[in-house]
């Protein structure tokens, strides 16, 4: 997957994570959240020895990671 595909996956992952957590964000925020979520999800899945391949797997991993990042951020704000 090229750079354009990674950007699209990041935007979609950030958008879905925001919707799951009941938040809203702009295009750049969704992209940032999706990229950070991709790293966080990959790290978590490596710890748990979970593999999930393909484009859907990349999107799912990024969404899970982004939801975890949003959850941690909401706990730190309180």
pLDDT digits (tens, 9 = 90+) for 20-30: 988 877 888 88
Task: Specify whether the CB–CB gap between 9 and 62 falls below 8 A.
Answer: yes
pLDDT, tens only, 9-65: 888 888 899 899 888 778 888 888 888 888 898 899 999 999 888 889 888 999 999
Six-digit token string for 65: 């990671």
For the CA atoms of 12, 14, 19, 24, the dihedral, rounded to the nearest 10 degrees, stands at: -120
């Amino acid at each position: 997957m090229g750079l354009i595909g990674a950007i699209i996956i990041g935007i979609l992952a950030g958008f879905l994570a925001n919707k799951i957590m009941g938040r809203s964000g702009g295009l750049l925020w969704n992209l940032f959240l999706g990229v950070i979520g991709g790293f966080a999800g990959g790290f978590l899945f490596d710890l748990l020895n979970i593999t999930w391949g393909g484009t859907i797997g990349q999107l799912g991993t990024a969404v899970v990671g982004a939801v975890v990042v949003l959850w941690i951020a909401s706990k730190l704000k309180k």
